[in-house]
Amino acid sequence: MLSPKIVPNNRLIAYVIPGIKKDVMQSIRPCKITRDWMDNTPARYAYRCIPLTAANSMGWEILNPVDAEISWTGQENGDQLNIKTAHQDPFGPKPHFGSGTVTWYIPFLFRTPPDYGLLISGPANQDKNFAVPLDAFIRSDWLPFPFTMNWRMTEPNKTVKFKAGEPICRIMPYPLALLDDMQLEIHDMHEDPNFMQEVKQWDKQRAGNYQSQRKAEQQWADEGRKPELKELWDSNYAKGQAATPPKSKHQNLFKCSAPIDKRVK
């Protein structure tokens, strides 16, 4: 038997499941930074949280192919799901595991380089009432069959809507040995006086910025002006500025590549 091809270290391969006739190129994309709830915060201030937007941009999203309304009876025996879809789609939501679990079959079988797997989750920083995505870790460096994406209904008799085109799954390559090789140690901060001084300086600066924000917001409220929050936020974190510059390149966002169709026509 021939051995499968070894995936290069900088590649993630998505093999299309044999027999699929639909255009799967529209089923996957790089993760988007934007979120509706973040758009709706005052002056879109949620996007000023760099760690939040960075997490939004990590990985690739698999999209729900069809409008669907789903409810669960609350019973554990059998599937006990009521799933209504706008039309039939082989990769739309289905019952499979029971216990209020909704399953999406994925049109791809992913392969990662040796010593990498895939971290599977729902879209980052995105919530949905009465349903939660189930996280998983896939040994995609060798596993010869595809995974499913699953959401768990949390309340009986509540209807949950999934729109066509909304992300229902995020995939992110992850080094297998990282967590096993990483040693977590507890120290007192005074053991590193230089770092402790940086922490104090940063804390003092943030406290000053906070007071300036409150003062400006109160002044604008008294004058009936609309807050210009972008003028109030300290951008040192966004710029990677600190008492000691970071040794590695400061990166606020991740720009995962768009899928390239390499199939033989």
Q: What is the 3-class SS of 48-99, one letter each residue?
A: HCHHHHHHHCCCEEEECCCCEEEEECCCCCCCCEEEEECCCCCCCEEECCCC
pLDDT of residue 168: 98
Specify the pLDDT at position 161. Answer: 98
- Supply the pLDDT for residue 45: 82
Whether 61 and 98 map to the same domain: the answer is yes
* Domain hosting residue 201, numbered range: 185-258
**Is the per-residue pLDDT at 8 higher than 60?**
yes
- 86-113 tens-digit pLDDT: 999 999 999 989 889 999 999 999 999 9
Tens-digit pLDDT profile for residues 244-255: 666 666 678 899
Name every residue whose Cβ is closer than 8 Å to that of residue 133 and which is 6 or more positions away in sequence: 121, 122, 123, 149, 150, 151, 168, 169
Same domain, 226 and 141: no
From 114, 148, 176, give the residue that closes a domain: 176
Alpha-carbon distance of 196 to 188, in angstroms, equals 10
Is there a single domain that holds both residue 119 and residue 223?
A: no
Domain end residue (candidates: 148, 176, 204): 176
Q: For the stretch 217-250, what's the b/e string if a residue is b when 16 or more beta carbons lie within 10 angstroms of its beta carbon? A: eeeeeeeeeebebeebebeebeeeeeeeeeeeee
pLDDT recorded at residue 58: 96
Model confidence band, residue 2 (pLDDT cutoffs 50, 70, 90)? confident
**Among the listed ranges 15-24, 162-171, 179-188, 205-214, which one has the minimum average pLDDT value?**
205-214
User: What is the pTM for the complete model shown?
Assistant: 0.86
Distance of CA 40 to the CA centre of its chain: 19
**Is pLDDT of 237 > 80?**
no
Our count of domains for the chain comes to 2
Average pLDDT value over all residues in the chain: 88
Give me the pLDDT at residue 142, please: 94
Q: What is the mean pLDDT of residues 212-230?
A: 70
Specify the higher pLDDT residue, 191 or 264.
191
- What pLDDT was estimated at residue 47? 87
Q: Is 23 helix (H, G, I), strand (E, B) or coil?
A: coil
> Is residue 51 domain-shared with residue 166, that is, in the same domain?
yes
Strands (E), the chain: 13-16, 28-30, 60-63, 68-72, 81-85, 93-95, 101-105, 108-111, 116-121, 131-133, 136-138, 148-153, 160-162, 167-175
Domain end (from 131, 156, 176): 176
Give percent of the chain with pLDDT exceeding 70.
Answer: 90
Residues 92 and 116 reside in one and the same domain: yes
User: CB-based burial of residue 117 (10 Å sphere; 0-12 exposed, 13-18 middle, 19+ buried)?
Assistant: buried
Residues 98, 76, single domain; the answer is yes
Do 197 and 75 belong together in one domain? no
pLDDT digits (tens, 9 = 90+) for 145-160: 999 999 999 999 999 9
Q: What is the mean pLDDT of residues 185-195?
A: 94
Q: What average pLDDT score do residues 41-64 get? A: 91
Does residue 18 sit within a domain?
A: yes
